[in-house]
């Protein structure tokens, strides 16, 4: 069902510092920040030859990243994202296998402009998993 690893998302307390680290210190291609109001975050993508790193920064006080950064003040891995061919088929198969889909269970448009869903970390060995339709 799952395909390629699309990205690893890292929540960061200082977006500019994180961008500078990847751009200057590590020599990676780094996108400009993009507000994602539907998700309550600002995203930046670091392009790698085989995948991407998504830097996440809170967009407002009600951002889901705020609580994560309170528990992890230095930042850290927030979620991993796998590609799927058909998000509705994947959702239904995952639910039939006992995995919990977060939210209302309906896909939302993610940072890449494609449908996404998140799976409960307790069902994924402690890892928040995003699936994205390709």
* Residue 3: band (very low, low, confident or very high) from pLDDT cuts 50, 70, 90: very high
For residue 35, is it left (φ>0), alpha (ψ between -120 and 50) or beta?
beta
Q: Above pLDDT 90, what percent of the chain?
A: 99
Claim: this prediction has a pTM higher than 0.75:
yes
Domain boundaries defined on the chain: 2-133
Beta bridge partners of 10: 55, 77
Mean pLDDT, rounded, for 75-103: 98
Topology given in CATH for the domain delimited by 2-133: 2,3-Dihydroxybiphenyl 1,2-Dioxygenase; domain 1 (3.10.180)
Amino acid 84: pLDDT: 98
* Catalytic one of 16, 70, 85, 130: 130
From the number of C-beta atoms within 10 Å of its C-beta (0-12, 13-18, 19+), residue 80 rates as middle
Catalytic (active site) residue 16: no
Mean pLDDT, rounded, for 10-17: 98
């Amino acid at each position: 069902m799952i395909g390629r690893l699309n990205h690893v998302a890292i929540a960061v307390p200082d977006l500019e510092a994180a961008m500078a680290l990847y751009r200057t210190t590590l020599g990676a291609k780094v996108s400009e920040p993009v507000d994602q109001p539907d998700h309550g975050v600002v995203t930046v993508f670091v392009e790698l030859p085989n995948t991407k790193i998504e830097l996440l920064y809170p967009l407002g006080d009600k951002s889901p990243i705020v609580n994560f950064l309170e528990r992890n003040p230095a930042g850290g891995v927030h979620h991993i994202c796998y590609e799927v061919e058909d998000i509705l088929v994947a959702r239904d198969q995952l639910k039939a296998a006992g995995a919990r889909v977060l939210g209302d269970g309906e896909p939302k448009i993610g940072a890449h402009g494609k449908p996404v869903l998140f799976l409960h970390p307790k069902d994924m060995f402690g890892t928040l998993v995003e699936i994205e339709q390709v």
